[in-house]
Chains A and B, each alone.
Chain A
Amino acid sequence: MKNEGESSERPDNTAFTQQRLPAWQPILSAGIVIPGFLIIGLAFIGIGIGLFLTSQTIQVLEGPVFFYYGLSNYYQNFRKYGVSTDYYQLSGDTQYFKSPQDSCSPYSYDSQNKPIVPCGAIANSFFNDTFELYQIINGTKKLVPLDGKGIAWWTDYNIKYRNPTLVNGSLANAFDGTSKPLNWPRPAYELDLTDQNNNGFLNQDFLVWMRRAALPQFRKLYRRITEGDYAAGLPAGNYSLTVHYNYQVLNFDGQKKIIFSNVSWMGGKNDFLGIAYLVVGSLCVVMSVVMLIVYAKFKFSEDDV
Chain B
Amino acid sequence: MIRWIRQQLGFDPPHQSDTRTVYIANKFPQHGHYTPQRFADNRIISSKYTIWNFVPKNLFEQFRRIANFYFLIIFLVQLMIDTPTSPITSGLPLFFVITVTAIKQGYEDWLRHNADNEVNGAPVFVVRSGSLVQTRSKNIRVGDIVRVAKDETFPADLVLLSSDRVEGTCHITTASLDGETNLKTHYSVPETAVSQTVSRLESLQGVVECQQPEADLYRFVGRITVTHHGEEIVRPLGPENLLLRGARLKNTKEIFGVAVYTGMESKMALNYKCKSQKRSAVEKSMNTFLIIYLGILLFEAILSTILKYAWQAEDKWNEPFYNQKTDKERDRSQIWKFITDFLAFLVLYNFIIPISLYVTVEMQKFLGSFFIGWDLDLYHEESDQKAQVNTSDLNEELGQVEYVFTDKTGTLTENEMQFRECSINGIKYQEINGKLVPEGLTEDTLDGSIHCLSHEEELFLKAVSLCHTVQISYDQPDGHAEPFSHINGFSPQMEYYASSPDEKALVEATKRMGVSFMGSRGEIMEVKTFGKAEKYKLLHVLEFDANRRRMSVILETPAGEKMLFTKGAESAILPFSTSGEIDKTRVHVDEFALKGLRTLVVARRLFSAEEFAEVERRLHEARTALHQREERLLQAFNNIERDLELLGATGVEDKLQDKVQETIEALRLAGIKVWVLTGDKHETAVSVSLSCGHFHRTMNILELVQQKSDSECAEQLRRLARRIKEDHVIQHGLVVDGASLSLALREHEKLFMDVCKNCSAVLCCRMAPLQKAKASYRTFLVFLSRGHEYESARPVVRLIKTTPEKPITLAIGDGANDVSMIQEAHVGIGIMGKEGRQAVRNSDYAIARFKFLAKLLLVHGHFYYIRIATLVQYFFYKNVCFITPQFLYQFFCLFSQQTLYDSVYLTLYNICFTSLPILVFSLFEQLVHPHILQTKPALYRDISKNSLLSFKTFLYWTLLGFCHAFVFFFGSYILMGEDTTLMGNGQILRANRQLMFGNWTFGTLVFTVMVITVTLKLALETHFWTWMNHFVTWGSIAFYFIFSLFYGGIIWPFLHTQDMYFVFVQLLSSGSAWFAIIIIVITCLFPDVIKKVFYRHLHPTSTQKSQWWKRTGMYTNRVAIGDDFIALQPLSRAKNQLGKIRNPVKFIEAYQGIGCMDSMCCFSEGRSGCARLGGLVGRVMGRCDPARASRCDLSLSSLCCQQISYKLERDEPVTMHP
Contacts and interface: CB of A to CB of B under 8 A. Distances in A.
Interface of A: 1, 7-13, 17-19, 21-30, 33, 40, 44, 47, 51, 64, 66, 68, 70, 72, 74-85, 87, 101, 105-107, 121, 124-125, 150-156, 159-160, 208, 211-221, 224, 226, 248, 251-253, 259, 261, 263, 265-273, 276-277, 280, 283-284, 287, 291, 294-295, 298, 300-305
A295 B1104 CA distance: 17
Interface stretch (B145-153, B406-414, B991-999): B991-999
Interface string B919-945: 000001010001000000000000000
Given A25-B1024, A270-B977, 12 more contacts: A9-B386, A10-B386, A23-B1026, A28-B1092, A106-B324, A211-B997, A214-B892, A214-B999, A267-B987, A268-B982, A272-B975, A304-B1132
Contact of B894 (A66, A75, A266): A75
B385 interface: yes
Interface of B: 84, 316-317, 320-327, 370-371, 373-376, 379, 381, 384-386, 863, 889, 892-894, 896-899, 924, 926, 930, 971, 973-988, 992-1003, 1020, 1023-1029, 1051, 1056-1058, 1061-1062, 1066, 1070-1072, 1075-1076, 1079, 1082-1083, 1086, 1089-1090, 1092-1094, 1096-1098, 1100, 1104-1105, 1107-1108, 1110-1112, 1114, 1130-1133
B676 to A, nearest CB: 29
B1075 A300 contact: no
Contacts of B381: 1, 10
Contacts of A10: 376, 379, 381, 384, 386
Contacts of B863: 19
Given A155-B1061, A214-B1001, A51 B1075 contact: yes
A18, A72, A84 — most chain B CB neighbours (10 Å): A18
Contacts of A70: 979
A151 B1092 CA distance: 48
Contacts of B322: 74, 81, 121, 124-125
A28, A105, A151, A259 — most chain B CB neighbours (10 Å): A28
A70 B980 CA distance: 12
B976 A300 contact: no
Given A10-B384, A79-B898, A151-B994, A17 B999 contact: no
Contacts of A151: 994, 996
Contact of B1133 (A160, A248, A304): A304
Contact of B1114 (A253, A280, A303): A303
Given A121-B322, A121-B323, A303-B1130, A19 B371 contact: yes
A66 B321 contact: no
Contacts of B1114: 303
Nearest to A284: B1086
Given A11-B379, A47-B1075, A273-B982, A77 B384 contact: no
A160 B1061 contact: yes
A61 B999 CA distance: 29
A99 B1072 CA distance: 43
A30 B1100 CA distance: 13
B996 A208 contact: yes
Contact of B984 (A64, A159, A219): A219
Contact of A263 (B897, B994, B1079): B994
B1075 A283 contact: no
Nearest to B84: A79
A215 B978 contact: yes
Contact of B1071 (A208, A215, A266): A266
Contact of B986 (A213, A261, A267): A267
A34 B230 CA distance: 104
A18 B374 contact: yes
Contacts of B1086: 280, 283-284, 287
B332 to A, nearest CB: 13
B999 A82 contact: yes
B1097 A305 contact: yes
Given A1-B381, A219-B981, A298-B1098, A27 B1108 contact: yes
Given A66-B985, A78-B893, A221 B1025 contact: no
B325 A106 contact: yes
Contacts of B1023: 25-27
A29 B997 CA distance: 42
Contacts of A252: 316-317, 320-321
Given A17-B371, A78-B893, A273 B1079 contact: yes
A51 B1075 CA distance: 9
A18 B376 contact: yes
A105 B1112 CA distance: 71
B398 to A, nearest CB: 15
Contacts of B926: 19, 23
B1066 A11 contact: no
Nearest to A63: B992
B996 A211 contact: yes
A109 B385 CA distance: 78
A121 B326 CA distance: 11
For the complex of A and B, 3 pairs with smallest distance between CB atoms = A125-B322, A214-B1002, A17-B374
A215 B320 contact: no
A81 B384 CA distance: 71
A25, A29, A156, A251 — most chain B CB neighbours (10 Å): A25
A270 B1072 contact: yes
Given A1-B381, A270-B977, A276-B1079, A265 B327 contact: no
A251 B1093 contact: no
Contacts of B1131: 303
Contact of B974 (A79, A85, A265, A272): A272
B320 A251 contact: yes
Given A265-B1071, A273-B982, A9 B379 contact: yes
A40 B1079 CA distance: 11
B1096 A29 contact: yes
A5 to B, nearest CB: 9
Nearest to A301: B1132
A28 B1096 contact: yes
24 contacts: A10-B384, A13-B376, A17-B375, A25-B1107, A33-B1089, A51-B1072, A76-B999, A106-B326, A150-B994, A153-B1062, A155-B1061, A156-B1062, A160-B1058, A211-B998, A212-B998, A213-B996, A224-B992, A252-B320, A252-B321, A267-B986, A272-B975, A276-B975, A301-B1132, A305-B1104
A250 B1112 CA distance: 72
Nearest to A72: B978
Given A121-B322, A272-B974, A221 B317 contact: no
Given A121-B322, A214-B1002, A300-B1097, A64 B979 contact: no
Given A19-B926, A273-B1075, A305-B1097, A79 B896 contact: yes
Nearest to A67: B994
Contacts of A28: 1020, 1089, 1092-1093, 1096
A215 B892 contact: yes
Contacts of B992: 64, 224, 226
B1027 A21 contact: yes
Contact of A75 (B896, B974, B1079): B896
A159 B1049 CA distance: 11
A80 B1082 contact: no
Contact of A12 (B374, B981, B996, B1107): B374
A304 B1079 contact: no
A7 B383 CA distance: 12
Contacts of B386: 9-11
A261 B898 contact: no
A291 B975 CA distance: 31
B1002 to A, nearest CB: 4
Contact of B1090 (A85, A107, A267, A287): A287
Contacts of A80: 323, 325, 896
Nearest to B373: A11
Contacts of B1001: 214
A214 B997 contact: yes
Nearest to A75: B894
